[in-house]
């Protein structure tokens, strides 16, 4: 009589999906878990990982599928699958944001200011970086305060911003040109005063 083994091995302790965050300054994280175990009605079964990052290694940002397959001596198998999700919650870093500046107004009540455009760097992707308020470098800024703002957004939607103020002041006193000289005149025939004109 031939006895056949038709019972597939059973994988135990298969994990639920794992969610973690990126390690600071990186685009992923090291994630560890207890690997599944296998039981079978006959000896000679084993379990191996066939898809995804091994436990205790660096997993990139995003979703990684991890699968294990258990096989017994008869070639019967069963599998278990879960996901490792690494969320990128780290915003881009803006450097070289200009400092606030105060300028003296020119004859047209404005002044030109030029600055170096700030930089943006992200832990995962090249952030979309743009000026969202104010005037471009090299513009003629009007009297008063202008807010120049910049925003960086990465592929995960994380947003960061920086801003500086350009203040144009007018500290020049008013000047009166061609003020007439002192005038001395005689009274008219009435003896009570006289008419005086000047330009």
Question: DSSP letter string over the chain?
Answer: -PPP--PPPEEESPPPPEEEEPPTTSSEEEE--PPPEEE-SSS--EEEEEESPPTTEEEESEEEEEEEEEE-TTS-EEEEEEEEEEE--PPPEEE-PPPPEEEE--TTSEEEE--PPPEEE-SSSPPEEEEEES--TTEEEESEEEEEEEEEE-TT--EEEEEEEEEEE--PPP---SPPPP------TTSS-------
Query: So what's the pLDDT on residue 54?
Result: 94
Is residue 155 within 8 Å of residue 124, measured between CB atoms? yes
pLDDT beyond 90 at 102: yes
Query: So what's the pLDDT on residue 173?
Result: 63
Cα separation, 113 vs 68, in Å, equals: 62
Per-residue pLDDT of 69-85, as tens digits, reads: 988 888 888 999 999 99
Q: Chain-wide mean pLDDT for the chain?
A: 87
Per-residue pLDDT of 103-118, as tens digits, reads: 988 878 788 999 899 9
Residue 66: which residues within 8 A CB-CB, separation 6 or more? 49, 51, 52, 53, 81, 82, 83, 84
pLDDT beyond 90 at 199: no
Per-residue pLDDT of 3-40, as tens digits, reads: 556 788 888 888 899 999 999 999 999 999 998 988 87
Q: For residue 16, give Cα distances in angstroms to 33, 81, 167.
A: 10, 9, 57
Locate 121 and state its tokens: 């760097």
Query: So what's the pLDDT on residue 189?
Result: 66
Q: If pLDDT is split at 50, 70 and 90, which confidence band does 98 have?
A: very high
Direct distance between the N- and C-terminal alpha carbons of the chain, in angstroms, rounded to an integer: 135
Q: What is the mean pLDDT of residues 130-152?
A: 95
Q: If pLDDT is split at 50, 70 and 90, which confidence band does 2 have?
A: very low
């Amino acid at each position: 009589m031939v006895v056949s083994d038709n019972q597939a091995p059973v994988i135990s302790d298969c994990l639920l999906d794992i969610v973690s965050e990126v390690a600071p300054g990186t685009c992923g994280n090291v994630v560890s878990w207890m690997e599944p175990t296998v039981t079978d009605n006959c000896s000679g079964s084993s379990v191996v990982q066939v898809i995804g990052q091994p436990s205790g290694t660096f997993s990139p940002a995003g979703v990684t599928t991890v699968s294990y397959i258990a096989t017994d001596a008869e070639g019967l198998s069963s599998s278990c699958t879960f996901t490792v999700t690494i969320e990128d919650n780290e915003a881009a870093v803006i450097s070289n944001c200009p400092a606030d500046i105060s300028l003296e107004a020119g004859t047209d009540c404005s002044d030109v200011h030029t600055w170096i455009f700030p930089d943006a760097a992200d832990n995962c992707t090249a952030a979309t970086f743009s000026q969202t308020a104010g005037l471009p470098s090299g513009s003629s800024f009007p009297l008063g305060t202008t807010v120049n703002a910049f925003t960086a957004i990465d592929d995960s939607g994380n947003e960061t911003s920086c801003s500086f103020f350009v203040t144009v002041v007018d500290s020049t006193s008013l000047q009166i040109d061609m003020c007439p000289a002192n005038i001395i005149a005689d009274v008219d025939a009435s003896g009570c005063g006289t008419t005086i004109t000047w330009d």
